[in-house]
A and B are shown apart, each in its own frame.
Chain A
Amino acid sequence: SYDLTQPLSVSVALGQTARITCGGDYIGSRNVHWYQRRPGQAPVLVIYNDNNRPSGIPERVSGSNSGNTATLTISRAQVGDEAEYYCQVWDSTSVVFGGGTKLTVL
């Protein structure tokens, strides 16, 4: 089975840039999707196919994917960005989620 590794937590100062990584063997050859889950709310898609933003997601949210690491970058971090973030890929006909990263804005 395919595994995705995320840091348990990331902290960022208000207004600075947060980077959340998602590691996997040759993940650069897969399409990576990212979801945000705020406490008590349903997950929301924030990036699809490595670096595409759905409508309504601000431009300061971006993604990249190369080699063995995909990265979600949140610029000018705001208190409202505090949430859990999950990466996701497909492994044949199965769906794989990373373990999730809790983003704290200080």
Chain B
Amino acid sequence: QLLESGGALVQPGGSLRLSCSASGFSFSDYAMTWVRQAPGKGLEWVSLIYNSGSQYYAASVKGRFSISRDNSKNTVYLQMNSLRAEDTAIYYCAKDRYASGQGWFDPWGQGTLVTVSS
């Protein structure tokens, strides 16, 4: 129901845009989130967008990453700029239970790998 794409190998300081295509539910009714898992590390929340478009970010990515959504395409995006080695991770998108967050995440996509290295 959620399919991420856009992961790649990118040099430090570079940019990348991830996409997450949704199906099987009324996309415009729910908040969507991005969560990442770096190699050997745990889950780390990255960003969330309400169905209304309000955006929220983890401190580690604020000012560098931007989340957006296109309800006509049932897709949520994560624009990542000024990438650092520590951004290397599998990036998952997930659906929040509610339109304005505060819920649980289900389902999750399979993830897309972002590697930041020279």
Interface size class of B (residues with CB under 8 A): 20 to 34
User: Which one of B37, B42, B45, B48 has the greatest number of beta carbons of chain A within 10 Å?
Assistant: B42
B48 shortest CB reach to chain A, Å: 7
| B104 x A95 contact (CB < 8 A) | no
Give chain B's interface residues, CB within 8 Å of chain A. 33, 35, 37, 42-45, 48, 56, 58, 92, 94, 97, 101-111
* Total CB contacts across the A-B interface at under 8 A: 59
Interface residue SS majority, chain B: strand
Give 30 pairs: A residue, B residue, CB < 8 Å, sorted on A.
A31-B104, A33-B104, A35-B43, A35-B105, A37-B37, A42-B92, A42-B110, A43-B35, A43-B43, A43-B92, A44-B108, A45-B105, A45-B106, A45-B107, A48-B104, A84-B42, A88-B104, A90-B101, A90-B102, A93-B56, A94-B45, A94-B56, A94-B58, A95-B33, A95-B45, A95-B48, A96-B45, A97-B43, A97-B44, A100-B42
